């Protein structure tokens, strides 16, 4: 097991919180994390995250702050910005967004007036809540219109419909990005349509940022996208946080800076910005490319096992780090039953609606799972395929307690043989 965090003061002062931290360390080390938005950070990232920068107010931007004492915050934020721009090959980066959702809020207010139109991916076809779902505040402020997949079994986006909608609705922003979609997007088609209707192109790469940084999948910037929003804690393997990148337009970058602060946020979380800089430094190392490639290979290995067992995969398979399986349609097990049974054997993933799901969101037809965290643990195709086989065994016989006991033991052994690493450099 990777060594427990050194927390002597906490242990002395607050045994309840210290015990919860020990519990979480144990849970993470002995169970398999297949939630595709989760990962394990290095000890270096954790150290920056837990540093004295948490004490400091630094409203504003480097060189232009409202409080004194910014000698070291400026160093940290400038390094984070410089590394982000290098990593994603762009001119401007705002590293202050507290997470992915506020990054999107700041982006919308930077690029649109209230009431203006944004064209994004439908949530039920893989989009994110922050892309205008009716339960969000955003949906009352902006006019969200949607596009979908043409065929959920290939994952192909319906670009004819997207174009018609864009011509009719004249969106200010066309948004590409997802949290439950397993194919690569043809970014150049989005750019073409945006140029035709005069829209700004934004990609929300929250899920795939690490794959793009590691050059394992195409970057929206290479196709000419204007802006990228992202989280830093998913495949990018940094601290919890968000970021907004602008390819080359100074005008857009200025609007985004104003929108993040003072438009939306107060003081930036400088300890997290320091941790982001450390994570970007790690992602710039050559071995991060290997990591990103291995995430894809492991996902393909899992895909092969599910296909061999005739379990329907949305999109027909995967080009990225995640898979969506229609377990209800294929095996008669609901998403919730699957999630619970897999939890019992030490495999954590989440139930998920599938496109045009006949079932309800709280007990949908699908499960969503992915390989970023197990790849960080050092799993290759062999272990990934074995995990998929064990998953299928559980799904086929999900109430068999003896089977689950045996599989729980094998999962624990797999975890112990592949401890969470402490460093990636
Ligand atoms: C995860 C995610 C977000 C939100 O990020 P939080 O850090 O949870 O606020 C936004 N967009 C997409 C596409 C995501 O996958």
Topology of domain 294-417 in CATH is 3.90.1150
Partnered with residue 60 across adjacent β-strands are: 65
Is the pLDDT at 291 greater than 90? The verdict is: yes
Q: What is the mean pLDDT of residues 332-345?
A: 97
Report the SS3 class of residue 31. Answer: coil
Rounded CA-CA distance 416/410 in Å is 10
CA 203 to ligand 1 center in whole angstroms:
12
Rounded CA-CA distance 60/257 in Å is 9
Task: Note if 231 is an active site residue.
Answer: yes
Q: What is the pLDDT of residues 218-277, one digit of tens each?
A: 999 999 999 999 999 999 999 999 999 999 999 999 999 999 999 999 999 999 999 999
Residue 40's pLDDT is: 97
Which residues line ligand 1 at a C-beta cut-off of 6 Å?
37, 99-101, 104, 128, 130, 177-179, 204, 206-207, 231, 242
Residue 3's pLDDT is: 83
Nearest CA to ligand 1 atom 10: 100
Q: What is the mean pLDDT of residues 303-324?
A: 98
- CATH 3.30.70.20 for the 49-283 domain, yes or no: no
Rounded CA-CA distance 336/355 in Å is 17
Rounded CA-CA distance 97/110 in Å is 13
Q: What is the pLDDT of residues 192-226, one digit of tens each?
A: 999 999 999 999 999 999 999 999 999 999 999 99
Which of the following is catalytic: 86, 240, 336, 412?
240
CA 128 to ligand 1 center in whole angstroms:
7
Residue 109's pLDDT is: 98
User: Do residues 196 and 168 touch, judged by C-beta distance below 8 A?
Assistant: no
Report the SS3 class of residue 254. Answer: helix
Q: What is the mean pLDDT of residues 102-113?
A: 98
Is the pLDDT at 123 greater than 90? The verdict is: no
Domain segments of the chain as ranges = 49-283, 294-417
Joined together, the tokens standing for residue 300 give: 């393909």
Average pLDDT, the chain: 97
Task: Note if 240 is an active site residue.
Answer: yes
CA distances from 76 to 17, 73, 97, 241, 247 (A): 29, 5, 15, 15, 22
Closest ligand 1 atom to residue 233 Cα is 7
Q: What is the pLDDT of residues 38-92, one digit of tens each?
A: 999 999 999 999 999 999 999 999 999 999 999 999 999 999 999 999 999 999 9
Q: What is the mean pLDDT of residues 93-100?
A: 98
pTM of the full structure: 0.97
- Count of beta carbons in the 10 Å neighbourhood of residue 13: 10
Task: Note if 359 is an active site residue.
Answer: no
The percentage of residues in the chain with a pLDDT greater than 70, rounded to a whole number, is: 100
Residue 159's pLDDT is: 97
**What length is written for the chain?**
425
Is the pLDDT at 1 greater than 90? The verdict is: no
Partnered with residue 119 across adjacent β-strands are: 145, 174
Q: Which residue has the higher pLDDT, 2 or 215?
A: 215
Contacts of 181 (CB under 8 A, 6+ apart): 121, 125, 126, 155, 315, 324
Task: Note if 234 is an active site residue.
Answer: yes
Is the pLDDT at 176 greater than 60? The verdict is: yes
Which of the following is catalytic: 234, 237, 255, 377?
234
């Amino acid at each position: 097991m990777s060594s427990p965090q050194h927390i002597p003061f906490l242990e002395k002062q607050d045994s309840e919180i210290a015990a919860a931290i020990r519990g979480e360390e144990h849970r993470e080390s002995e169970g398999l994390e297949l939630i595709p938005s989760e990962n394990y950070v290095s000890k270096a990232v954790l150290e920056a995250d837990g540093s004295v920068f948490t004490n400091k107010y630094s409203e504003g931007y480097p060189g232009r702050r409202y409080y004194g004492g910014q000698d070291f915050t400026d160093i940290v934020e400038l390094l984070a910005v410089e590394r982000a721009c290098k990593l994603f090959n762009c001119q401007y980066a705002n590293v202050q967004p507290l997470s992915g959702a506020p990054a999107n809020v700041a982006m919308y207010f930077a690029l649109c007036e209230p009431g203006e139109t944004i064209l994004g991916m439908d949530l039920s076809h893989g989009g994110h809540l922050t892309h205008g779902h009716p339960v969000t505040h955003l949906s009352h402020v902006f006019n969200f219109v949607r596009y979908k997949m043409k065929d959920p079994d290939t994952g192909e986006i319906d670009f004819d419909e997207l174009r018609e909608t864009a011509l009719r609705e004249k969106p200010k922003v066309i948004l590409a990005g997802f949290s439950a979609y397993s194919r690569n997007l043809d970014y150049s088609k989005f750019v073409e349509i945006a140029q035709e209707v005069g829209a700004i192109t934004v990609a929300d790469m929250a899920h795939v940022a690490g794959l793009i940084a590691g050059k394992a999948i195409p970057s929206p910037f290479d196709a000419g996208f204007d802006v990228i929003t992202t989280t830093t804690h998913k495949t990018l393997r940094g601290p919890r946080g968000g970021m907004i990148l602008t390819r080359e337009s100074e005008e857009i970058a200025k609007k985004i800076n104003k929108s993040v602060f003072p438009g939306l946020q107060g003081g930036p979380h400088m300890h997290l910005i320091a941790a982001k800089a450390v994570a970007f430094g790690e992602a710039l190392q050559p071995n991060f490319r290997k990591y990103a490639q291995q995430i894809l290979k492991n996902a393909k290995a899992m895909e092969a096992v599910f296909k061999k067992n005739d379990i329907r995969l949305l999109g027909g398979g995967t080009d990225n780090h995640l898979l969506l399986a229609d377990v209800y349609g294929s095996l008669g097990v609901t998403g919730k039953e699957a999630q619970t049974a897999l939890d019992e054997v030490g495999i954590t993933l989440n139930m998920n609606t599938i496109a045009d799901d006949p079932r309800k969101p709280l007990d949908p037809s699908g499960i969503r799972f992915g390989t970023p965290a197990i790849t960080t643990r050092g799993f290759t195709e062999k272990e990934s395929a074995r995990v998929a086989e064990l998953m299928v065994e559980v799904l086929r016989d999900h109430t068999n307690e003896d089977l689950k006991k045996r599989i729980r033991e094998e999962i624990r052994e797999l975890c112990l043989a592949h401890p969470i690493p402490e460093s990636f450099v």
